[in-house]
Amino acid sequence: MQNVTLNNGVRMPILGFGAYQIPPDRTERAVTDALAAGYRLLDTAAAYGNEVAVGRAIRSSGIPREELFVTTKLWVQDAPAERNAKRAFETSLDKLGLGHVDLYLMHQPFGDVYGQWRAMEDLYREGRVKAIGVANFYPDRLVDLAINNEVTPAVNQIETHPFFQRGTDQDVMREHGVQLQSWGGFAEGRNNIFTHPLLSEIAESHGKSVAQVVLRWLTQRDIVAIPKSVRAERMAENINIFDFALTAAQMASIATLDTGTSQFFDHRDPAMVVRLGRVRLSD
């Protein structure tokens, strides 16, 4: 497995397994299959409601903890967030049954962002997390956070796929030493991505699937990808992308698919800010 090196020297697999939208009663089996297929980066979140099942799969796997890279996320916290954020972290750690997490992300750019970040900085300094980062931050919010705090986010996990490629965002992240990580790499099937003529043609030329082409396109851009599946055969297919490379011409042709807009929702939409800001998680 290829790795990327984060801005604090921590190495992170460039391809992992995402647990978003996997029901808790199916998560343990899915994560167990993913680990058996060779995934070592696991991505979950308090908001997904499946941290307990992820932790059970980790313990049952017998894989040494140091071989795994586990990410979870902090949900929106009201001001002052320092105490609440640390309590939320302890809840996640307890559910996972782990002594530390490798990456802790602020899940949304809402609530008491600076209070949340200060709490995460404390957890990082205490060695409870190996790296801290954010998710769903647009460049202006990301740069503001980076230049006004002691610890620069190591990762920004954002919607990134062939129809929303985030090239400008990635340029800004590189300037500030932040690693881009994709969520929604397959655009959740929108725009008929798995039968798209261009992507299908490229896939056929390599004897690969469209999903493999998309993941290879992401990783060739030095973007960390976390595809989700509940099917063991699809997990095995998704991780098998390092035996071919897209040509420069193919990368350029995929670039033409960029619409420059989200296929889901805009985190800058006031209505979405209200909607996400009102969600509160229970322990």
Q: What is the CATH number of the domain that holds 112?
A: 3.20.20.100
| Domain annotation covers residue 283 | no
Listed range (13-17, 26-30, 217-221, 279-283) with the worst mean pLDDT = 279-283
Structure token pair of residue 213: 């082409």
Tell me if residue 104 is catalytic. no
pLDDT at 160: 98
Listed range (15-29, 235-249, 265-279) with the worst mean pLDDT = 265-279
Q: Is 213 helix (H, G, I), strand (E, B) or coil?
A: helix
Average pLDDT for 167-176: 98
pLDDT at 54 exceeding the cut of 90: yes
Instruction: List the domain range (segments joined by +) for residue 167.
Output: 3-277
| Domain annotation covers residue 63 | yes
Average pLDDT for 76-81: 86
* Dihedral angle of Cα 262, 237, 95, 22, to the nearest 10 degrees: 60
Question: Domain tally for the chain?
Answer: 1
| Domain annotation covers residue 184 | yes
Query: Cβ neighbours of residue 28 under 8 Å, at least 6 residues apart?
Result: 53, 54, 56, 57, 60
- Per-residue pLDDT tens for 104-140? 999 999 999 999 999 999 999 999 999 999 999 999 9
Average pLDDT for 178-194: 95
Task: Point out the catalytic residue in the list 48, 104, 114, 138.
Answer: 48
pLDDT at 283 exceeding the cut of 70: no
Is residue 182 within 8 Å of residue 218, measured between CB atoms?
A: yes
Query: Cβ neighbours of residue 121 under 8 Å, at least 6 residues apart?
Result: 132, 149, 150, 151
| Domain annotation covers residue 20 | yes
pLDDT at 278: 82
In this structure, the strands spanning 224-225 and 129-135 are unpaired
Is residue 99 within 8 Å of residue 126, measured between CB atoms?
A: no
| Domain annotation covers residue 174 | yes
**What percentage of the chain carries pLDDT values higher than 70?**
99
| Domain annotation covers residue 95 | yes
| Residue 107 annotated as binding site | yes
| Domain annotation covers residue 126 | yes
The answer to whether the predicted template modeling score (pTM) of the entire model surpasses 0.85 is: yes
| Domain annotation covers residue 282 | no
d(CA 43, CA 209): 23
